[in-house]
A and B are shown apart, each in its own frame.
Chain A
Amino acid sequence: DAGITQSPRHKVTETGTPVTLRCHQTENHRYMYWYRQDPGHGLRLIHYSYGVKDTDKGEVSDGYSVSRSKTEDFLLTLESATSSQTSVYFCAMGHPEETQYFGPGTRLLVL
């Protein structure tokens, strides 16, 4: 698999706590993405980045923030986790008109 990893791979947390997921890539890609995957909804874009410190919202950005202080890392933060944010989170890298390489995913359970 391409050089993209996610941490943690699994996390259980409680409602109201902050959570940060990390995506790390070693391919020097300019574009990075955060998606969530839920049954019946497919892959929905949360936020994306088109360069260091350049980010934009996706279709389901409410309750999430991101930061990209260096090319290789793209952080997703749930400021105050809710049960509706229980999901599988995938990050991805790659130009939108070329292959997007997905990370292995993070399973998040919010109790």
Chain B
Amino acid sequence: GENVEQHPSTLSVQEGDSAVIKCTYSDSASNYFPWYKQELGKRPQLIIDIRSNVGEKKDQRIAVTLNKTAKHFSLHITETQPEDSAVYFCASHTGGGGSNYKLTFGKGTLLTVNP
């Protein structure tokens, strides 16, 4: 089955700096890659996603890049703010139908933005 590796497990940055979180996946048939943010004590929420036919996607200070050849994708947060402090999870979905209706999540990255 699909395996998703996420690095780093913790990341500390100064306010205003950029943060980058990287994930690799194992199944070349994977076609959908979302990122979820989980604030302390809250539920995970989708912040951005990318599909396999796109190389990059931006939404204000957040961007995701996808390299299908290398089977990795990254989350980029620019001009970080204290409210960006949270755990971030990457995930992948492998298409193909059948009963493959699930996401595989990475283990998460705890991002701390220091004022």
A residues sitting closer than 8 Å to B (CB atoms) are: 1, 31, 33, 35, 40-45, 48, 50, 54, 56, 58-59, 90, 95-97, 99-100, 102-105
Residues of B within 8 A of A35 (CB): 105
Cβ-defined contact, B107 with A48, below 8 A? no
Residues of A within 8 A of B99 (CB): 50, 54, 56
A42 to B109, CA, bound (A): 9
Q: A33-B102, A50-B101, A58-B102 are in contact. Are A100 and B32 (CB under 8 A)?
A: no
Residues of A within 8 A of B102 (CB): 33, 45, 48, 56, 58, 96
Which are the 9 A-B pairs with shortest beta-carbon distances? A42-B107, A102-B43, A43-B105, A42-B108, A97-B32, A50-B101, A99-B46, A96-B93, A96-B101
B103 contacts chain A at the CB level, 8 A cutoff:
yes
Q: A43-B44, A105-B43 are in contact. Are A96 and B32 (CB under 8 A)?
A: yes
Residues of B within 8 A of A48 (CB): 101-102
Residues of A within 8 A of B49 (CB): 99
A42 to B100, CA, bound (A): 20
Cβ-defined contact, A31 with B44, below 8 A? no
Residues of B within 8 A of A95 (CB): 101
A102 to B51, CA, bound (A): 21
